[in-house]
Amino acid sequence: MTFSRPQRKVALSIGGVTFVSALLAASANVAAPHLRTVSPSSGARESLANFALEHPEAALMQRHLPLAFIKEKLENGAESVSGPSQEQYENRAYPRSTIADKQRRGARAAYLRLARNGSARGGGTTTTGSALTSTATTSTASSAAWSYLGPDTNNVPGPSTQNGVATTNSGRTTSVVVAPGCTTGSCTVYIGTAGGGVWKTTDGLSDSASWTFVSAGIPSGAIGSLFYDAGNHTLYAGTGEPNGSGDSEAGVGLYETANGGSSWSLVGDSDSKARDRSVGSIAVAADGTVYMGTDVARHGSSSVNGGRRTPPGAAPLGLYRMRPTESKFTRIFSKPGSPVDPAAGTGSDWFQGGVNHIELDPKDDNTVYAALFGYGIWRSSARLDGTTAFRHVFATSDPKDTFGDRTEFALTVKYGKTRIYAGDENEDKGWSWVWRTDNADRPANMLTNANGNGGWIQLSNPGNGQRGFDSYNFCEAQCGYDMFVVTPPGHPDIVYIGGSMNYDEIYGTVPPRSNGRAVMRSSNAGRDFTDMTEDAAGIGIHPDEHGLAFVPGQVNQFFEVNDGGVLRVDNAAAVDQTSQCAERGLQGYDLLDCQRWLKATPQHIAELSQGLSTLQFQSISTYVSGGETHYLGGTQDNGTWAFGPGVSGYESVGGDGGQSATDSGNSDVHFHTYYSSFADVNAYPAGGGYAAGLNPNHWDYVSQKQDSSGEGASFYVPFTNDPNNTGWIYEGLEHVWRTKDDGGDYAYLDANCSETDPSRFNPAATCGDFEPIGQNLASSSFGDRAGHYVVAISTAPSDSSVMWAATRTGRVFVSTNATAAAKAVKFTRIDGSTSTTHILPGRFVSGIAVDPANPNHAFISYSGYSAYAAGGHVYDVTYDPSAGTATATDISGTPDDAGAIGDMPVTGIAYDAANDELYASTDFGVITAPSSGGDAWSAAGTGFPISTVYGLTMSGGDLIAATHGRGAWTLPLP
């Protein structure tokens, strides 16, 4: 799959947040497996063994991360508009390519209706501001309360970090502000997260700061921007994430609080101005005038209800203003967005035209500067230009690039003149630069003209070892996703820049010439920069930087947010680490670069993510050890986590975390997947503070045959154990793949297929013994709904020979001899009672829950919208093995009935056989009904946060919900 633009740019993904690579990825000989989500390819994926042979510098793994992670970073390049959340969007839109606002709003209304329906049964709902928290009872559980399950700690052991030093991680954090009066013991800091809302600490200068969720009054967990108005002690929160990625969720407007988040109110009519958009930036003048910039965002009301294609009818992009005497925002400036109509479904409404940054001139807050994706910087100033019309003062490097190159800037004052620092990029070429003008008070036509940015100094230089190389390519090819430029008030010669980790400098060169250059600092007006990415103790900054806020009055102490949470840097530029450069064996220009970058590094980096329950889980699996239940969960961006009794919570393996599983007969053997079919096994004994099978140093590659098969695969493939046969594990591509011995002899795998130890990785070894069973379930030999790949696998708890499976296009299969020899296994297609009549919808199958008492009876859930492909969202299905046919009953309820599901995508299904109760996960929470379904659905339990739920897991007497932004939650069952 390629973009509908020049073919030298290829859509690829890393760590669950997606990005665009330039020529590097386009020239690579490996296909991006998740791109088959739209157009399955027959080209084989490259295995890790081949990757290691072709990239010996990566195989050395100087940094402590899995080889699969390094493969993603080196070959997949930068952040893009395709990946797991885009795939989720397309699953909901299928068979169409976009989701209209009508469907998105209808789904949310349906969930809120079910919450009220639960109230009528004796439960209820509570409302804080305009946000609803479900307190509805289930149909059998009177008032069961949800509780946060974990992980209780956010620990990342050294082997799971890039430099081997332990740290803490939470979910992606997009923005940060510090309230005035920050002192030791009393320092209030607010952060906004991509899916977990707004959080607050009052002790930000402590290394053990505690956090409190404070945005219950905002009906969205996606926060893209924060602004603290010190004059009025008011915090503004812009919902929706403006970062250029495939999972930047749209919001519901701009909100404000004057009491630290105890209550929130919508600002003016910002919800209508930001419909299906994000609020990318906020500025407030001394007289109370509010400026709001809106940006392209990829999701409707949840982190999976949207996607790369903006829904038709989205509000116009632009810079909006609301004066103190007004109640509505007025659009005062805008530029055209990407030229292709998003309603056409081509996926070409990129980020151009979005207002990603606003600042008011520090000398005159009637002068407004705004940066627009794809255009550069514009200014409105009657004082400087003789008009309030917006004038162009900085042009982005390639205005013809309709993708929407990003510009960030910071204003300050030097010698009585307004100075601007600007970071700019060219997405096509994968370049980024830093510029400066020392006299922005000149007329606009002196700052940008036909000959370019005539009033600006280009500070960056592409020459290795040359002055200016420090800031060149500082956010690689993904500046549209992660980029900031910040200068501390009153210190015009100091400027900080942040963006992507420079992976080629820490993995792609031997030895590494930098610490990653994720955050850089200059004290001489941008001429030279030093690397802030690691402190003197080796504690590092998580990749992908989104924001920086100074401790008031300080220039070398600041808070910084990124894809791994929030941290504080103390005494920046205080430590000389240049001695490391010679120790690394660097020579020539690489040595000069290293000596420049490491001469002034931080004394201390305090990771402050402990206590933030904002991890974006993809799924939760469980296992029993020592009589107690334990949990494994894969997270977007932040690996697979282990938590439970005696395991307070740690990231057992880094990279992208997809599905996980445990050998049903041996709780010391665990599995996890990265992206696509890439999978690892771990059976290392307990010790060193790690549980059995969860030692970060002993995850071993086990999916070489699947990866090399050329079969299409989901971004996160289905991956599960056989509940009755020890060692039996299944993975879904176009076939169902199976191993009967946990992937092979573990001693051999650990000696030859290590993900983290180069001395134990042998490219000539065969890593894993999975084999395909039965037919290719995506094959045209089964008739219609052909193509794509398997998205659900469920083995009957009472009979392992019965397996249910489904493909993305709505095919459903049953095998009654799944335990037979691989080639003897036979699947029967059952979604059509005849070859021309379907009894089940042609939409994405999001889950299959097999009845524990009857292997031929199951409940099947569907994503997507009935408006796009007829049918309900939950079905009761019974298979007749003698006839090879099935019967199916739609138990979603009567349309428009108060107790019906309505046209709301269901993301997963679980069946509580003991109480004959169904549970279904949605983009907003969890709903429940007796197994007969119908018009008896309601929101499940009490106290669950409005949050996207990717999946449900039954665990003894508990139901586990994996949320995308609020961690894992549990509900006790009757």
| Residue type (1 letter), 879 | Y
What distance in Å separates the CA atoms of residue 366 and residue 362, rounded to the nearest whole number? 10
Dihedral, CA of residue 961, residue 962, residue 963 and residue 969, to nearest 10: 50
What distance in Å separates the CA atoms of residue 923 and residue 195, rounded to the nearest whole number? 12
The 10s digit of each residue's pLDDT in 629-674 is: 999 999 877 899 999 988 878 999 988 888 999 999 999 999 999 8
**Per-residue confidence (pLDDT) for residue 403, from 0 to 100:** 64
> Smallest Cα–Cα separation from 400: which of 356, 446, 352?
352
What distance in Å separates the CA atoms of residue 711 and residue 737, rounded to the nearest whole number? 11
Report the SS3 class of residue 271: helix
Could you tell me the pLDDT band of residue 143, with boundaries at 50, 70 and 90?
Answer: low
**Per-residue confidence (pLDDT) for residue 366, from 0 to 100:** 96
What does the mean pLDDT of the chain come to?
Answer: 85
pLDDT over 70 at 284, yes or no: yes
**Per-residue confidence (pLDDT) for residue 833, from 0 to 100:** 53
**Per-residue confidence (pLDDT) for residue 70, from 0 to 100:** 65
**Per-residue confidence (pLDDT) for residue 309, from 0 to 100:** 56
Both structure tokens of 343: 């309603």
Place of tokens 């002899």: 745
The 10s digit of each residue's pLDDT in 793-851 is: 999 999 999 999 999 999 999 999 999 999 999 999 999 855 557 999 999 999 999 99
> Smallest Cα–Cα separation from 268: which of 249, 282, 280, 247?
282
Could you tell me the pLDDT band of residue 106, with boundaries at 50, 70 and 90?
Answer: confident
pLDDT over 50 at 378, yes or no: yes
Mean of pLDDT values over 599-621? 94
**Per-residue confidence (pLDDT) for residue 441, from 0 to 100:** 96
Could you tell me the pLDDT band of residue 95, with boundaries at 50, 70 and 90?
Answer: confident
Mean of pLDDT values over 242-271? 90
What distance in Å separates the CA atoms of residue 498 and residue 252, rounded to the nearest whole number? 28
Q: What is the pTM of this model?
A: 0.87
| Beta-carbon-side half-sphere exposure of residue 312 (alpha carbons within 13 Å) | 12
| Residue type (1 letter), 4 | S
pLDDT over 80 at 31, yes or no: no
By CB atoms closer than 10 A (0-12, 13-18, 19+), residue 730 is buried
| Residue type (1 letter), 675 | Y
Report the SS3 class of residue 527: coil
Mean of pLDDT values over 885-897? 93
pLDDT over 60 at 211, yes or no: yes
What distance in Å separates the CA atoms of residue 658 and residue 640, rounded to the nearest whole number? 7
The 10s digit of each residue's pLDDT in 342-373 is: 444 434 456 889 999 999 999 999 999 999 99
DSSP letter at 128? Answer: E
Mean of pLDDT values over 485-496? 98
Backbone angles phi and psi of 442, in degrees to 5: -75, 160
User: Who has greater pLDDT, 890 or 26?
Assistant: 890
Q: How far is CA 385 from CA 335, 442, 726, in A?
A: 19, 8, 76
Place of tokens 């397996």: 803
What distance in Å separates the CA atoms of residue 207 and residue 608, rounded to the nearest whole number? 7
Q: How far is CA 895 from CA 114, 133, 846, 925, 944, in A?
A: 13, 24, 21, 20, 25
User: Who has greater pLDDT, 510 or 304?
Assistant: 510
The 10s digit of each residue's pLDDT in 698-741 is: 999 999 999 999 999 988 899 999 999 999 999 999 999 999 99
Query: For the residues of 79-104, what is the DSSP string, one character each?
Result: --S-SHHHHHHHHHHTTSS---HHHH
**Per-residue confidence (pLDDT) for residue 969, from 0 to 100:** 96
What distance in Å separates the CA atoms of residue 918 and residue 932, rounded to the nearest whole number? 9
**Is the alpha carbon torsion for 784, 789, 795, 799 positive or negative?**
positive
Mean of pLDDT values over 131-135? 38
Please give, one letter per residue, the 3-state secondary structure of 11-62: EEEECCEEEEECHHHHHCCCCCHHHHHCCCCCCCCCCHHHHHHHCHHHHCCC
The 10s digit of each residue's pLDDT in 44-68 is: 466 777 776 666 655 555 556 676 6
**Per-residue confidence (pLDDT) for residue 312, from 0 to 100:** 66
Using only the alpha carbons of the chain, give its radius of gyration: 27
**Per-residue confidence (pLDDT) for residue 653, from 0 to 100:** 92
How large a percentage of the chain has pLDDT more than 70?
A: 84
Could you tell me the pLDDT band of residue 543, with boundaries at 50, 70 and 90?
Answer: confident
Contact 553, 490 (CB under 8 A): no
What distance in Å separates the CA atoms of residue 921 and residue 911, rounded to the nearest whole number? 12
What distance in Å separates the CA atoms of residue 36 and residue 787, rounded to the nearest whole number? 10
Per mean pLDDT, which range of 81-90, 212-221, 838-847, 849-858 is the poorest? Answer: 81-90
**Per-residue confidence (pLDDT) for residue 244, from 0 to 100:** 72
Could you tell me the pLDDT band of residue 300, with boundaries at 50, 70 and 90?
Answer: very low
pLDDT over 90 at 28, yes or no: no
